[in-house]
A and B are shown apart, each in its own frame.
Chain A
Amino acid sequence: MDAGTALGFALPIGVAMAAIGSGLGLGKAVGSAMEAMGRQPEAAGKIQTGMIIGAAFIEALTIYALVTVFILQGKM
């Protein structure tokens, strides 16, 4: 197997793993934040801000994976 073929296999698997990971992470983060807001409604503002920043970080990781795939695609 040459490098191009290996990249052809690895790139879609890499993006899929990033998407699955960020999906699981987002689900867990938002679920926990909702639970925390339900327990302590007076701290909802702070929890919400932390959750939004966390969600943006998680989403960014998927975008990084996508951009990395685009960079590597040019080397196939």
Chain B
Amino acid sequence: MGLDFINRVAKASVILALIQLPFVTVYLGWQIALGVLLGAFWGAANLMLIKYIVTGVITPNPKSKKRALILGAVKFPLLYGLGYLLLISEIFTPVSLLAGFTIIFLVAFLKALGRYLLDNKIISSEMPKNFNKE
């Protein structure tokens, strides 16, 4: 479970949020669908920025430390400022933003659970030997 896991979790949650967009738009309205999508973007951006800051601080290269400091200074006002603006705007309901924000954790949990089950051979990703055998 390397840093690639985090990239894949962020990518999968954005894809999941994009998939829900047409369905939620039809059944619950575009405001809720867009709120969920923006919440998912918020969560993914939060996770990726944490990743960049942590890796930048830990890497011994002074350039990456400087970059991490700049990202840290930008992250909090920008991300929380945007979140605050989204929350106070009357367009999106806070619950839809929260649902979108939770997607990333759901994806991370399910990915970790899948990996655990595969590593411990509780389920197998291989085809059975007699599969497709007449």
CA distance A37 to B55 in the complex (A): 13
Interface residue ranges of B12-59 to A (CB < 8 Å):
43, 46-47, 50-51, 54-55, 58
Contact in complex: A60, B1 (CB < 8 Å) = no
Within 8 A of B (CB), among A40-54: 44-46, 48-53
Contact B94 A67 (CB under 8 A): yes
Q: Which secondary structure dominates where chain B touches chain A?
A: helix
Q: Are B43 and A60 in contact (CB under 8 A)?
A: yes
The size class of the interface chain A forms with chain B is 20 to 34
Task: Enumerate chain A residues within 8 angstroms of B55, measured Cβ to Cβ.
Answer: 48
With A49-B2, A67-B87 already in contact, the answer to whether A55 and B94 are too (CB < 8 A) is no
Q: List 28 A-B contacts (CB under 8 A).
A: A45-B2, A45-B3, A46-B1, A46-B2, A49-B1, A49-B3, A49-B6, A50-B1, A51-B54, A52-B6, A52-B47, A52-B51, A52-B54, A53-B9, A53-B47, A57-B105, A59-B46, A59-B50, A60-B43, A60-B101, A60-B102, A63-B83, A64-B98, A67-B87, A67-B94, A67-B98, A70-B88, A71-B94
Which A residues lie at the B interface, using CB under 8 A?
A: 37, 44-46, 48-53, 55-57, 59-60, 63-64, 66-67, 70-71
Which 10 pairs of residues, A with B, have the shortest CB-CB distance? A56-B47, A45-B2, A70-B87, A67-B94, A71-B94, A67-B98, A52-B51, A49-B1, A55-B50, A70-B94
12 new A-B pairs (CB below 8 Å) besides A57-B105, A67-B94, A71-B94?
A44-B58, A48-B3, A48-B58, A49-B1, A49-B2, A53-B6, A56-B47, A56-B50, A64-B98, A66-B87, A70-B87, A71-B95
